[in-house]
Structure 1
Amino acid sequence: MIRLASWIIGSLVIAGIVAWVIALPGTISLDIAGYRMQPRLGTAVALLVLATIIIIAIWALVRRVIGAPKALNRRRNRKRREQGVEALSQAVIALQSGDPARARIMAREAQARLPENSAAKLLEARADLAMGDMSAAREHYRALIANESTAVAALTGLYDQAQAQGRPEAALVFAQKTLTLAPHSAWANQAVFDNFVATRRWAEAVAMVNVEVAGSREEKARKRRRQAVIESARAREMEVSEPNSGLDHALTALKLLPDFIPAALIGARIYINRGESRKAQSLLRRTWRATGHPDVAMLYANSQPGASALDRLKRIGELIEIPPTNCAAAMVMARSAIDAYDWPLARKCLENFLDDDLTQGVASLMGEIEEGQSGDQGKAREWFARAVRAPRDPAWTADGIISDEWEPVSPVTGRLDAFEWKVPTTQTARSTAIEKGTVQTMSELPPPERALPLATTENDQ
């Protein structure tokens, strides 16, 4: 309604102005080619306006005719660009849909219509890589490296190609080149870090972790753990050859993660081999109170080289109450009691864990007790048979592999910090041996075999 009223008012105003101009008094005298005209002033103004309009219309028509070729060229280029963008979109869709052949065709069509578009070239290289045409993909990627805007993307493709071809050295070179161009590239940092871990170049690996920027609490915790794992790995390698340096790395790991069991075990073993049993025992007591890990208790029992089985049993009593409150503590105490031929104590330690909580380790220990205390081979075999069907005990496990000791890297995937202390879920040759009664689990091994590689025990009963 407002628009209609505005249009009516505007029309009236314009009509009034035109009527006023036409009604202006006076005349204009014009002499053209011997002709004299004397129109009224209003008529002359109207004719002037009309002539101006005609001139503008003629000029517009002339400009359109003159500019027609350029306009046609712009229209053709616009249509060509639209077709190129559509071909580029189709190439992306085809590549994501698992049709690299169509993706390559559409990428080439996009290049033909968009010759300066780097994305089309990159898509063709990706399609070549997906089709297994490694030589063509490599040539495309190498051509893209010269362009600063596509260099990182090209190096990423070359890295993927080298990985697919099983050329880890070349892949590492491409990752390192990427870091020089894009220091914050996540995949390149991870690739170089994984190489440092795989080649046990712990100093370079921890240096990379140290410069990581951790914003959130979770990121800071993850960074501390990675640092602790790497420091523990360095301590583990130096435990025998450079014990002093190994101890420093182990203590550094414990500053980062005070309850990190592998670092505590390594540090305690170095203390023991240096004859500093009190420091080892203090460290192990703190770790035991925090974690209750059986390896910590077994090493505590063996913290005095040359101690007898009775001495080891007595020392275990400093950590574990009788009867033990959990299965891990019960197995450690029972193991020490069996070594000391204290059969009643060994049986008492395990009696609360013989029902629903029965595990392979407990059943195997009960078999040893029956065999050693009464010599009843039938009962012993019965316990060993129950061990076959019983749930497993926790062990250091990574990617289906069970290890007697903690390892910093998975032997299957090469992943850092892969080993966890948990109940294994994959059948292994070692568990098959347990079923046959020919081998014991890690927590059941006699203390001299597993706690101190450099120390021996004497005077065992």
Structure 2
Amino acid sequence: MVRILFFILLVLALALGFAWLADRPGELSLIWQGQLIEMSLMRAATILISLFAAILIVAWLIRTLWLSPHTVTRYFRARKRDRGYQALSTGLIAAGAGDAALARKMAGRTRGLISADQEPLIHLLEAQTALIEGKYDDARKKFELMADDPETRELGLRGLYLEAKRLGANEAARQYAERAAEKAPHLSWATLATLDQRSQAGQWDEAIRLLDQSRTANVLDKKEANRKKAVLLTARATGKLEADPKAARDDALAALKLDDRLVPAALTAAKALFREDNLRKGASVLEKVWKQDPHPELARLYVRARGGDSAVDRLKRAKRLETLRGNNAVSLATVAEAALEARELALARSKAEAAARLAPSESIFLLIADIEEADTGDEGRIRHWMAQALRSPRDPAWTADGVTSPTWLPVSPVSGRLDAFEWKEPPSPLAGTTEEGRVSVDEAIRSLPPVAPEHPVAVREAPATPKAEENGPVLEAERPIPTPTAITVPERKETAAPPSKSEGTAAEDEEAAPFFGRPPDDPGVRDGAVEDGNKASFRLF
């Protein structure tokens, strides 16, 4: 572009010069060797410029002829180099696609066309080809050569790091990552690998320092860096909680400033504040996080923040959490547990059933079973809810890489990855489990077996048939269904379903089908349901 512009300007200057001479005519006289030479000024200028152009053309021809051998050599060299780069490109594509034969062929062709000193990518192609062919020792040697070369140092260190991780040599991998992070702090893989390894070793101070350096170098974005630093501060605070509650409190509060939804940081900060007898501030920390993300561990710590509280006081604190985040399954379950401890069974049952309607889970049905045991004590109804718990989704837990932990951990014990644990439903231990057979809570409540009477019931059975008496005692499954003629049930003071609702015709019993599609396997033991004189004898053999 610059040359074209220069040429246009030159032509314009010549045109302007000739136009200026044409407007100012003149004669040029020259005496040379006794001869007088006269011509116009325009003709003289034209001859001078033509002579100058001829000299330039002759000089260009002489230079071209003089440099022609070098030009021809350079042409063939460039052609050879282009063929080599074409082979190198084809080889790298083949190596990426997993074609070991073509990659090896292109690597040999590239070696013959391009010198490895001129193009370091040849080492990469050979290393990748060796990895595809399973020649890991050759690949490691190539990576070591690249690590010694300043141009390919980072590439070689990454290859050595990946090979060390593949072999399980964590110490060697740590050294390679640290070397790469020291030479090139802008490499995200080196920074993250070093950060994970220092976190695995519990070197929280060094990990935080390295993370700050990576934030300065813009290796991580602000949100990710803040999250990781909050996790590191929480881990350090958890380690200091027993020995130095004040330092643990400062670290945990600093972590909450970086990530206000980090539940472990809120738990650690609240525990440290409770140990300093600062109950109000600790409760405010838990309430702030609870409003954003209700968590069972937050509720458990909040309700039992003060050791000397009675069950009624704990129920009041649970109701306080429900007012902060209403219509939530965790809030309702928290109130139900506290109400069960305070023996307010009606409130506990209503809250537990409401929580089960919002988010059915294993723990909520077990809680309803506990409420049933405390309220009615009916074994059939208790087993009904326990069976429903077996069919319900598992409760969320701290899960990372398919492993669950009873408490939050900053690093995964499987992969060593920082901030790997999440509060979610763990994987099912039974392969192929589905949601078939699960019913709604309302249907489960409708299919409950009737409440067993707490007092003895007098039942008079019809006499056995002669055929049954001739064959001797029979199993109870073969015995005819007794026909009750007189039933006397004392009045119950507690709130329960009246016996008349459960005593109907066979058609009414079929309409209220249990949640399994049939009556429970074991409806429970009914005390005194049969008189002593009418007890059935069993023939086992």
Q: TM-score, normalised by structure 2?
A: 0.62
* CA–CA distance in structure 1, aligned partners of residues 122 and 325 of structure 2: 73
**Residues of 2 paired with 1:72 and 1:140: CA distance?**
36
Aligned to 1:96: 96
Aligned runs of 1:165-204 on 2, under 5 Å?
165-204=167-206
Report how far residue 320 of structure 1 moved: 2.8
CA separation of 1:390/1:60 partners in 2, compared to 1, >3 Å: closer, same or farther? closer
RCO greater where, 1 or 2, for CA within 8 Å and sep 6 or more?
Answer: 1
8 Å CA contact retained: 2:253, 2:269: yes
Partner of 1:38: none
Mapped partners of 1:146, 1:292: distance in 2? 54
**8 Å contact from structure 1 (residues 111, 121) kept in 2:** no
| Aligned residue among 114, 123, 126 for 2:125 | 123
Q: CA distance change for structure 1 residues 182 and 386 in 2, over 3 Å: closer, same or farther?
A: same
Q: Could you tell me how far 1:357 is from its partner in structure 2? A: 4.3
Aligned to 1:427: 428
Q: How far apart are 1:75 and its partner, in Å?
A: 4.7
Inter-partner Cα distance in structure 1 for 2:315 and 2:62: 110
Aligned twin of 1:454 = none
Equivalent residue number for residue 298 of structure 1: 300
Taking the aligned partners of 2:61 and 2:278, their CA distance within structure 1 comes to 102
User: Mean alpha-carbon deviation: is it higher for 387-396 or for 147-156?
Assistant: 387-396
More helix by share: 1
Greater shift after overlay, 312-321 or 360-369? Answer: 312-321
Residues 188 and 62 of structure 1: CA distance in aligned 2, closer, same or farther (over 3 Å): closer
2:144 aligned partner, one-letter code: R
Structure 2 unaligned spans of 5+: 1-50, 434-541
CA deviation map 1:98-150 (0-9, x unaligned): 02343133223212221132211221122223322222222222233333212
| 2:87 match | 87
Corresponding residue to 1:252 among 251, 254, 266: 254
Q: For 1:160 and 1:306, how far apart are their aligned partners in 2? A: 55
- Structure 2 CA distance for partners of 1:151 and 1:288, relative to 1, 3 Å: closer
The reply on whether 1:414 has 2:425 as its aligned counterpart is no
Q: Which residue matches 1:264?
A: 266
Question: Measured at CA, do residues 87 and 311 of structure 1 come closer, stay the same or move farther in structure 2, by a change above 3 Å?
Answer: same
Report the Cα distance in structure 1 between the residues aligned to 2:299 and 2:327, rounded to whole angstroms: 14
SS in 2 for 1:402: strand
What is the TM-score of this pair, normalised by structure 1? 0.72
Q: 2:397·2:406 contact (CA, 8 Å) conserved in 1?
A: yes
Q: 1:154 aligns with which of 150, 153, 156?
A: 156
Deviation at 1:408? 1.8
Cross-structure match for 1:359: 361
CA distance, structure 1, for counterparts of residue 366 and residue 68 of structure 2: 96
Q: In the superposition, relative to structure 1, how do residues 146 and 223 fare at CA in structure 2: closer, same or farther (>3 Å)?
A: closer
Are the aligned partners of 1:108 and 1:120 in contact in 2 as well (CA < 8 Å)? no
Matched residue type, 2:107? A
* CA displacement at 1:250 relative to structure 2: 0.8
Query: Cα deviations across residues 289-340 of structure 1 (Å, max 9, x unaligned)?
Result: 3433232222111111243333322332333359963211111111112223
Q: Which residue is 1:346 aligned to?
A: 348
Greater Cα shift, 122-131 or 360-369 = 122-131
Moved more, 399-408 or 186-195: 399-408
Deviation at 1:215, TM superposition (A): 11
In structure 2, how many angstroms separate the alpha carbons of the residues matched to 1:388 and 1:62? 94
> What is the deviation of 1:151?
1.9
How far apart, CA to CA, are the structure 1 residues paired with 2:372 and 2:64? 111
- Say whether residues 1:226 and 2:228 are aligned partners: yes
Pairwise CA RMSD = 3.4
2:313 is aligned, of 307, 311, 316, to 311
Which residues of structure 1 form unaligned runs of 5+?
1-48, 433-461
